[in-house]
Amino acid sequence: MAPQRSRQYAPGIARRAAIMESAFTAFGTIGYWNTTLAQIAQDCGVTRAGLLHHFPTKESLLEAVLARRDEVNRDLIFGGSQDPRRNPRDFLGKLIRLVEHNASQPGIVSLFAVLGAEATHPDHPAHAYFAGRYESVRSWIGEALRLLDQEGGLRPGSDPTAAAIELTALLDGLQVQWLYRPDAIDMPALFRQRINAQLVVPLDPAELHVTPVAGSATSAE
C-alpha cells in the first residue's frame, strides 16, 4: 500500500517544491513586496487555486522559503554528532564551510541580501525573523569566541562581543560585494583570514575540510 500512497502524494509534493523554487527566485531578485502570487503561479505553471491550496498567503510562502533555508544551514552547522558550540574551533570552521557553500549559490545569497535589507522595516512580514536571526548569529559567534578566549585561544586584545558583530557584518557585506564581482571577491578566503587573525593558532585546512585557495585571495582593484 505504501508505494501507492507515495505515488498519490508525489504530484502535490512536486508542485509544492516547484512553487517554493519560483518564490525563492522571485523574492531573491525583485524582493518580497514586488512579488505577486499570480506571477509565481504563472512561473511554475500551476493555477492560482493550486498555489493557494499549498500557500494561502504570500506571508506563508515567505515563511516556508525561509524555514527551508534555515534547515539547510542548520544541517551544515549543527548536522554533526556533537553541538559544535562545545568545540569553538570546529564551529568557526563550519561557519567558513557555510560561506564556501554559499559561494556556489548566488540565488540564496541574493535572497538573504534583498530580504534582510527590506525587512529592517518593522512592517515587513520577515522583520521578526531577520531581527531574531541576527541576534542568534551574533550570539553563536560570540559564545564560540568567549569559550576560545577562556581557553587562551584568542589573541590578546580581542573583544568577543565586538568581534561577533564584526564577523556577522563581514558575512553580509562580503556577500553583497561578491554578488557584484564574483570574480574579484573571494568570500570564504577573506572570512577565513579575518577569523584566523583573531586566533592564536590559525585553523588549518584539515579543520576546515576545504581546499586551500590557490594564489591571491583578493583582486578587487
Asked if 35 and 23 touch (Cβ cutoff 8 Å), the reply is yes
In three-state secondary structure terms, 168 is helix
Contact residues: its own copies, CB under 8 A: 29-31, 33-34, 110, 113-114, 116-118, 120-121, 130-131, 134-135, 138-139, 142, 159, 161-162, 164-166, 168-174, 176-177, 179-181, 185, 190, 193-194, 217-221
Closest CB 24 distance from its own copies, rounded Å: 14
Closest CB 57 distance from its own copies, rounded Å: 17
What are the C-alpha distances in Å from 137 to residues 5, 92, 169? 40, 12, 10
Closest CB 126 distance from its own copies, rounded Å: 11
Closest CB 12 distance from its own copies, rounded Å: 31
CB closer to its own copies out of 95 and 114: 114
Return the half-sphere exposure (C-beta side, CA atoms, 13 A cut-off) of residue 93: 18
CB closer to its own copies out of 10 and 131: 131
Torsion (CA) 158, 164, 169, 175 in degrees, nearest 10: 100
CB closer to its own copies out of 7 and 123: 123
Q: Phi/psi at 168 (nearest 5 deg)?
A: -65, -45
